C-alpha cells in the first residue's frame, strides 16, 4: 500500500488504478454552432463546363476563387470567360478582380474586393 493510499484510504470495493476512464459526454455541453450563410469556394476552370458552376455559386451568395491557369493570356476562350464573370458580378452587385496571371476572385453582392495590397 502506498503512502497516498494510507493517507487517503482506498475506496471500498474498487481496485487501485493509476487512472480512471471518464465518460466525457456527461461533461460536454452542447456548443451552438453559428449558421454559415456564405462560403468561399475554390474552382479550377479548364473549359466552359465549369463556368456555370461558378456562376451558380456567385448567384447563391458565395465567394469563388477561380484558377484560370489552363488558359493562355491570348486565348479567346479566356476573354469570353472573363466577360461572363463580369456580367454575373454586375447582375448581383458583386466584384471581380484578377490576382496575378492565373487567379480570379469573384464575390456576390455586398462584398467588395480591395485593390490595395497589404505589405508589411
User: What's 56's domain CATH number?
Assistant: 3.30.110.150
- Per DSSP, 18 falls in state S
Does residue 56 form part of some domain? yes
Whole-prediction pTM value? 0.68
According to the model, what pLDDT value does residue 46 have? 84
Whether residue 23 lies inside any domain: the answer is no
The pLDDT value given to residue 101: 87
Flag whether 4 is in a domain.
no
24 in a structural domain: no
Q: CB 112: neighbour CB atoms within 10 A?
A: 11
Intervals of the chain under pLDDT 50:
none
User: Which of 54, 106, 50 lies closest to 77 in space, CA to CA?
Assistant: 50
Residue 101 to residue 34: CA distance in whole angstroms: 36
Structural domain containing residue 52: 40-107
Nearest C-alpha neighbor of 113 from the set 78, 99, 58, 100: 99
Please count the structural domains in the chain.
1
Distance CA 60, CA 94 (A): 12
Amino acid at each position: 500500500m502506498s503512502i497516498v493510499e494510507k493517507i487517503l484510504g482506498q475506496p471500498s470495493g474498487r481496485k487501485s488504478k493509476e487512472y480512471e476512464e471518464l465518460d466525457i459526454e456527461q461533461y460536454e455541453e452542447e456548443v451552438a454552432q453559428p449558421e454559415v450563410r456564405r462560403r468561399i469556394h475554390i474552382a479550377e476552370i479548364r473549359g466552359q463546363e465549369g463556368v456555370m458552376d461558378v456562376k451558380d455559386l456567385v448567384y447563391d451568395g458565395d465567394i469563388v476563387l477561380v484558377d484560370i491557369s489552363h488558359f493562355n493570356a491570348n486565348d479567346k476562350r479566356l476573354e469570353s470567360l472573363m466577360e461572363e464573370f463580369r456580367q454575373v458580378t454586375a447582375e448581383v452587385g458583386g466584384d471581380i478582380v484578377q490576382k496575378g496571371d492565373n487567379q480570379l476572385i469573384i464575390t456576390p453582392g455586398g462584398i467588395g474586393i480591395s485593390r490595395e495590397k497589404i505589405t508589411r
